[in-house]
Amino acid sequence: MPETNRSFATKPCHNCRRRRLRCDKSHPFCHKCSLNGQECLGYGQIIRWANAPAIRGKLAPVKPFPQTAIQPCLIDPLLNRLDSKSRNYMHHFTTLVCRDLVSIDQKDRNPFRAMIPLCDRFDYLEAIVVATGAMHLATLLTKNHDGTGGPELVDALVAKDRAIHLLKKAIETVTPSSQAMILAAVVFFVNLDLIDSGKGGWPAHIEAATALMSSLRKQQQSVLKHDSTLMSLVDVIAADCLTYRILGTTISTVDITSWGEDQDTEDGLFDVLRRAEAHSYHCCPPVILQVIMSTSRLSTLDDEVERLNGALELLERAMMFPVEEWVHSIRGLSLEEDDLSVRVSLASAHRAAACLYILLSAPEVEGVLEGRLTLDGLVQEVKGFLSEVPTDHILLKGTVWPMFMAGAQTDDKEQREWYLERLGTVWAKNPWICPWGYIRTAVEMLKELWAVRDKVGGERGKGWNWLHEMKARREKCLIV
């Protein structure tokens, strides 16, 4: 990935300077402070009490800087038995990873933080949370220093291996009360792959999680209905799993024939997406996700007429979907902290990208439409909606999939640079940086696809279907 305009301080943070440590000088806070479980005092001017006595070697009380300080996380006292490193990784998970996993972090209403108190009861959950926090911190530090890992990465892999061992034992003695936590752990193995690179064993994890979700649907009517916090956690984790599975089918060959035994089962799974709409950082309407999933199934149809008619029906369903009405109907949004106009732009970008996916999956459709809807037109439409999302907005992290779909299709050099710059902003320059490795993988794959298209050249290059190239690859990648 090309070097981006990263933001670094010119001098160490106040903590590192006082302790005579080497500071990484990264914004919005020093990650060495985060690893040590300390609140970073930032790089700005220290504000002293008026008329305070000057005491050599000691700092007077300071006013915290809201943009540069990490608020101390509330770790359950039962977790004090953890070693220092594990507590710090759990701190990192609570403060930053949980923020990444939702659209808007609503303080006490982030369902992923409900996992922390449960870690004392489920050892495999504790291990996967520690692994996720360590992997996220390792990727964050690698982003800042262009390294190849460090002790945090080693700790993440050790914790992951422990989580696998403990989860195997838990599956052998699964109980109704532990199924929800096993689902959470399995889905977080997918998150680990996404934070690392977007490659790895995510298809198998998603397959296992989908089977667990079908069983949990019955529990939601009995066991889980008495605990709204736990039910909310299960909903957002299941919704993430469904979203990962659907978007995973768009660029990788993933088996979707086992998606449920009947329509009722499938409808029940999509009800989960609707219940978790307020928390989903993708901001993609469940109806559009259904359209994407149905489009992925078109490739299994042998009848060309049936495939053509199916694609036309899906196009109409997507284009007629009322995005703005859907956004204003989402339950549980924080009207003070949320930004409905940005949500509308994001949902519209996903809708246009879904239409682009339909045309790429069934190329014969474009000829039937006779210019009314074209690949180039949809690329422009996606870019237009994405441009409405400010580069310093927290919801920028939800733009990666439509950005990849439109970016892979364009042959315009200026547009290609725009997509690279935007992905780089999500990865490294946005105040709400999202250092998930799959974004870096998306950049690498875009460059590879552009190189192949440019090599083909001319009109033949314009007609080259990059989607078929992606699905023919042995290595499966997940871009969300």
What pLDDT was estimated at residue 444? 92
Average pLDDT over residues 394-401: 92
**Domains of the chain by residue range:** 1-72, 83-279
pLDDT beyond 50 at 48: no
DSSP 72: P
Whether the Cβ atoms of residue 103 and residue 63 lie closer than 8 Å to each other: no
Q: Across 4-13, 67-76, 136-145, 364-373, which has the greatest mean pLDDT?
A: 364-373
This model's pTM is above 0.75:
yes
What pLDDT was estimated at residue 315? 94
Best CA proximity match to 447, nearest among 465, 434, 433, 466: 466
CATH for the 1-72 domain, from 4.10.240, 3.30.420, 3.30.70, 3.30.1490: 4.10.240
pLDDT in tens, 238-264: 899 889 989 998 988 766 655 544 555
Give one DSSP letter per residue of 5-58, joined into a string. ---B-SS--HHHHHHT-----BSSS-HHHHHTT-----SSPPPPPTTPPP-TT-
What pLDDT was estimated at residue 397? 92
pLDDT in tens, 173-232: 877 778 888 999 999 999 999 999 888 888 888 888 887 877 666 555 555 555 566 778
- Whole-number Å distance between alpha carbons of 22 and 32: 9
Best CA proximity match to 239, nearest among 200, 261, 206: 206
Average pLDDT over residues 136-165: 83
And the tokens for 25?
């000088």
C-alpha dihedral sign at 277, 284, 97, 397: negative
For 49: left if phi > 0, alpha if psi spans -120 to 50, otherwise beta; the answer is: beta
Element (H, E) at 351: helix 340-361
Q: Report how far apart, in Å, the C-alpha atoms of 210 and of each of 127, 259, 269, 281, 479 are.
A: 22, 8, 9, 20, 19
And the tokens for 446?
């875009």
What pLDDT was estimated at residue 228? 65
What pLDDT was estimated at residue 257? 56
The tokens 């990264």 sit on which residue?
Answer: 26
Q: Report how far apart, in Å, the C-alpha atoms of 8 and of each of 24, 28, 144 are.
A: 8, 9, 9
C-alpha 291: how far from its chain's center? 20
What pLDDT was estimated at residue 407? 95
Whether the Cβ atoms of residue 395 and residue 342 lie closer than 8 Å to each other: yes
C-alpha dihedral sign at 90, 91, 92, 96: positive
What pLDDT was estimated at residue 142? 77
